[in-house]
Structure 1
Amino acid sequence: MLVGSISCGASSAHDGDPGVGAAQSCDHLASAPWDPDAPDAQRTVNFRDLRAGAAIAACQAAIAEAPRLRRFHFQLGRAYDRQGANQDAFEAYRRAAELGSGAAKVNIGILYQQGRRFEKSDAKARAWFRDAAETGIPEGMYCYAVALDNGIGGSPDAAAARTWYVKAAARGTTKARDALVRLELDGAGTGTRCD
């Protein structure tokens, strides 16, 4: 999925190429460590360290220059999310998800699960996590497994949770390996979290 610095494929002429300054600023200020669309895994930002104001401005500028690049919409969503502007975060994530971002689907699921300054719906959270998992993103696989494991948005399903934890672990998600151990020892309802 990662193609140079443009993760959702080459942009068409009507999308415009992002200016180096706007694109690099948005990426530097708001790329998630677990997002496969992040152009440089060494230059990502943990959510707690994200400077929302600067990231919002940079990502809005990047989107203005390249509106079809999903990573910019996702990163804008993260910045709004960090700021606590959850409705704005949802809109940015939704646009990124429409463009194919599995990371955005994960974060939409988290918005629904947490319900802070946003609609609380475990059923919607589980559905978004499932959609993210099916895109092949390890974080989505993990979050869907957590929902299945803990009965978030539906009945617990230890066998299905195990399947998704295994898939996430196979793609390097350490917390999925830890959850598998707990699931094997204690059965469903491990209390593992996706946030």
Structure 2
Amino acid sequence: MRAGVAIPACRAAIAQAPALRRLHFQLGRAYDRQGANQDAYLAYRRAADLGSAAAKVNIGILYHQGRRFEKNDGKARAWFRDAAESGFPEGMYCYATALDNGIGGMADAQGARAWYAKAAERGTAKARAALVRLEIDGTGTGARCD
């Protein structure tokens, strides 16, 4: 993605169709690629407010990574949970990684197992792999959402 080209194109598209969450999400991705994390957050937030579970995952990642943005694992975990509860497989996986690795709260093997299983049922291969590691090693598998 060429962020310098994508940002004005996304803005122009949003001016034409401001209620399309996909456009706000793509604008967030362009800002994210550029390293403009506060702008990425605002665009993702608008997409999330319009119902984008993918945007919720990306907001969680921004909070978890804290690159030129507020680092807050509690908020990351909450955004991942919201995306998971909406039925989005990547959100399920990310929430499971937070539960597995104690990101933003206590580790929860039972919860991690349940969410990894839900994500795996929906075809998320990395969730199947993490589920196996969780069964063998217990919590703290190091599975990552990013």
Class of the TM-score when normalised by the shorter of the 2 chains: over 0.9
Residue 146 (1) aligns with residue 94 (2): no
Q: 2:132 aligns with which of 163, 167, 181?
A: 181
Supply the distance in 1 between the matched residues of 2:120 and 2:23 (Cα, whole angstroms). 27
Local SS of the residue matching 2:106: coil
Give how far 1:65 is off. Answer: 0.5
Give how far 1:135 is off. Answer: 0.9
Give how far 1:116 is off. Answer: 0.6
- Please name the residue that 1:20 is paired with: none
C-alpha deviations, 1:3-62, integer Å up to 9, x for none? xxxxxxxxxxxxxxxxxxxxxxxxxxxxxxxxxxxxxxxxxxxxxxx2211111221111
Deviates further, 50-59 or 173-182: 50-59
Supply the distance in 1 between the matched residues of 2:73 and 2:5 (Cα, whole angstroms). 32
Q: 1:86 aligns with which of 25, 37, 53?
A: 37
- Please name the residue that 2:25 is paired with: 74
Supply the distance in 2 between the matched residues of 1:169 and 1:127 (Cα, whole angstroms). 21
Local SS of the residue matching 1:191: coil
Supply the distance in 1 between the matched residues of 2:100 and 2:73 (Cα, whole angstroms). 13
Query: Normalised by the size of structure 1, how large is the TM-score?
Result: 0.74
Q: How does 1:70-149 map to 2 (within 5 A)?
A: 70-149=21-100
Q: Find runs of 4+ consecutive structure 1 residues off by over 6 angstroms.
A: none
What are the ranges of 5 or more consecutive residues in structure 1 without an aligned counterpart? 1-49
Q: How does 1:38-77 map to 2 (within 5 A)?
A: 50-77=1-28
Local SS of the residue matching 2:142: coil
Supply the distance in 2 between the matched residues of 1:52 and 1:189 (Cα, whole angstroms). 35
Q: Identity over aligned residues, as a percent? A: 80
- Please name the residue that 1:192 is paired with: 143
The one-letter code sitting in structure 1 at the alignment partner of 2:36 is: A
Give how far 1:140 is off. Answer: 0.4
Count of residues paired in the alignment: 146
Supply the distance in 2 between the matched residues of 1:73 and 1:103 (Cα, whole angstroms). 11
Local SS of the residue matching 1:96: helix
The one-letter code sitting in structure 1 at the alignment partner of 2:132 is: V
The one-letter code sitting in structure 1 at the alignment partner of 2:44 is: Y
Query: Normalised by the size of structure 2, how large is the TM-score?
Result: 0.98
What RMSD over aligned residues (CA atoms) do the two structures have, in Å? 0.6
Q: 2:122 aligns with which of 162, 167, 171?
A: 171
The one-letter code sitting in structure 1 at the alignment partner of 2:6 is: A
- Please name the residue that 1:25 is paired with: none
